[in-house]
């Protein structure tokens, strides 16, 4: 047990904890052996059932400590740059099938990324998330991090989701050319365009390892394109992929604070795959089908938000679920989204496409029964961890 933990749990009511000593000893045995997950799980069952405030505080403190130890501390190996395969669709597809991803440099015209970043940062500055003025395009965060789903998050997101430049980027010709080589000539994007507004200094919120299949369902050939809106190095929170992890079926889920609120529980087969990543430059893209395990690296940049988009593509004739035809978070209607668009060309474009509508299987998306407790405890522990980090830095005069 480290000194910081010792001093923080010393402030928990020791007398009230006395009755639980044998349990706590067992918990610490697991933790000392490096298994935080098992230690927390053991304590959590008793703490939740006991109604003991002291034990609950102990659990939360343990979770604060566990955050950095339970997140995958990976050092990704370099992604294979597939630009050399372009022009040979068979080779492109064979590589996608073998590795479960494709990474390409310099595909999207910079002007298109700039245009969208201009508009998004304008909204974020107006909402008080980032510094305005000359530095606006750097997306320097000036407020405590927000998570997807919080009311203040939606104040910005509900405006961003209306941007024509966001949705039209999914149809950008150079991107479509690559997608068609990777999937086939009838490939088209889902209208579900996603924007990621990731705060700095919040490793706890980094998107955890997951597959997209439980969120999207339909065809497992559904392929995502992940696109940062500026240079995005590994330490800025870029995307990492588990090479070859698309071959092992659908994995079970657990609650997580990061985007989507779900992480995949990785099995031996998947754990034997290596993580790959890249220092992305603006214009680079990575493609991956919906069974590939991927995650975001932690954003260790202390100032800059990571802004990126991700779009999903499939072939005509394949299956999709109705949710993929709705705007992300489904809070605003397409008619409202389209209201200020300059062009009509892309409005309801998918109605001319051929696809099979597949039923949504809620069991694939379900979380374990205890997820509400889990969410509450993780949010509490995250707030404490964040406050301590900030206080630590200001005490060291770094803020």
Ligand X SMILES: O=C(O)CCC(=O)C(=O)O
The C-alpha atoms of residue 42 and residue 178 are separated, in whole angstroms, by 49
Q: How far is the CB of 193 from ligand X (least distance, A)?
A: 11
Burial status of residue 25 (CB atoms within 10 A of its CB: 0-12, 13-18, 19 or more): exposed
**What is the closest distance, in whole angstroms, from the C-beta atom of residue 108 to ligand X in the complex?**
15
- The C-alpha atoms of residue 177 and residue 281 are separated, in whole angstroms, by 19
Residues 145-174 within binding reach of Fe ion (CB under 5 A): none
> Per-residue DSSP letters for 153-210?
HHHHHHHHTT-HHHHHHTT-HHHHHHHHHHH-TT-EE-S--EEEEEPSS-GGGSPPSB
> How many whole angstroms separate alpha carbon 55 and alpha carbon 86?
58
| Residue with smallest beta-carbon separation from Fe ion | 212
Name which of 167 and 295 has its Cβ closer to Fe ion.
295
Residues between 168 and 197 that touch ligand X (CB under 6 A): 196
Toward ligand X, which CB reaches closer, 65 or 314? 314
User: Does 310 contact ligand X by CB under 6 A?
Assistant: yes
Query: Which pair of tokens denotes residue 90?
Result: 């068979």
Q: Which of 102, 170, 259, 381 binds ligand X (CB under 6 A)?
A: 259
Q: Residues 284-309, buried b or exposed e (16+ Cβ, 10 A)?
A: bbbbbbbbbbbbbbbbebeebbbbbb
259 interface partner picked from Fe ion, ligand X, none, CB below 5 to 8 A per type: ligand X
Residue 22 host element (H or E): helix 21-32
The mark string for 265-304 relative to ligand X (x by CB under 6 A, - otherwise) is -----------------------------x-x--------
Nearer to ligand X, 9 or 259 (CB): 259
Range 200-229, binding Fe ion (CB under 5 A):
212
204 makes contact with ligand X (CB under 6 A):
no
* Cα–Cα distance for residue pair 240/368, rounded to 1 Å: 26
How far apart are CB 297 and ligand X at their closest, in Å? 9
Task: Report in angstroms how near the CB of residue 63 gets to ligand X at its nearest.
Answer: 22
- Can you give the binding site for ligand X, defined by CB under 6 A? 196, 198, 207, 212, 224, 226, 239, 259, 294, 296, 308, 310
State the residues that interact with Fe ion by CB under 5 A: 212
């Amino acid at each position: 047990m480290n000194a910081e933990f010792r001093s923080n749990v010393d402030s928990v009511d020791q007398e009230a904890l006395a009755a639980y000593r044998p349990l706590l000893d067992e918990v610490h045995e697991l933790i000392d052996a490096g298994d935080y997950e098992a230690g927390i799980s053991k304590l959590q069952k008793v703490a939740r059932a006991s109604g003991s405030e002291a034990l609950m505080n102990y659990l939360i403190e343990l979770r604060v400590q566990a955050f950095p130890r339970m997140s995958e501390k990976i050092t990704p190996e370099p992604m294979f740059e597939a630009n050399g395969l372009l022009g040979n669709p068979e080779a492109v597809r064979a590589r996608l099938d073998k590795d479960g991803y494709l990474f390409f440099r310099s595909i999207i015209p910079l002007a298109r990324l700039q245009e969208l970043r201009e508009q998004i940062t304008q909204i974020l500055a107006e909402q008080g998330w980032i510094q305005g003025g000359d530095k606006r395009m750097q997306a320097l965060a000036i407020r405590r991090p927000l998570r997807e789903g919080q009311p203040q998050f939606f104040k910005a997101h509900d405006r961003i989701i209306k941007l024509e430049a966001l949705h039209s980027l999914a149809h950008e010709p150079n991107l479509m050319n690559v997608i068609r080589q990777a999937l086939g000539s009838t490939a088209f994007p889902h209208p579900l365009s996603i924007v990621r507004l990731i705060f700095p200094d919040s490793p706890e919120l980094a998107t955890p390892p997951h597959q997209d299949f439980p969120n999207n369902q339909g065809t497992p050939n559904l392929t995502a394109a992940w696109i940062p809106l500026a240079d995005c190095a590994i330490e800025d929170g870029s995307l990492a992929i588990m090479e070859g992890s698309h071959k092992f079926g659908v994995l079970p889920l657990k609650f997580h604070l990061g985007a989507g609120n779900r992480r995949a529980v990785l099995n031996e087969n998947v754990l034997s795959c290596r993580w790959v990543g890249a220092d992305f430059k603006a214009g680079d893209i990575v493609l991956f089908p919906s069974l590939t395990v991927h995650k975001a690296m932690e954003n260790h940049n202390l100032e800059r938000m990571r802004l990126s988009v991700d779009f999903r593509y499939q072939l005509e004739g394949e299956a999709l679920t109705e949710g993929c035809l709705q705007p992300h978070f489904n809070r605003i209607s397409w008619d409202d989204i389209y209201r200020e668009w300059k062009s009509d060309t892309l409005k309801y474009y998918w109605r001319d496409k051929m696809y099979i509508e597949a039923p949504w299987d809620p069991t694939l998306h379900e979380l374990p029964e205890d997820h509400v407790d889990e969410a509450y405890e993780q949010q509490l522990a995250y707030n404490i961890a964040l406050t301590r980090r900030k206080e630590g830095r200001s005490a060291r005069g770094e803020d």
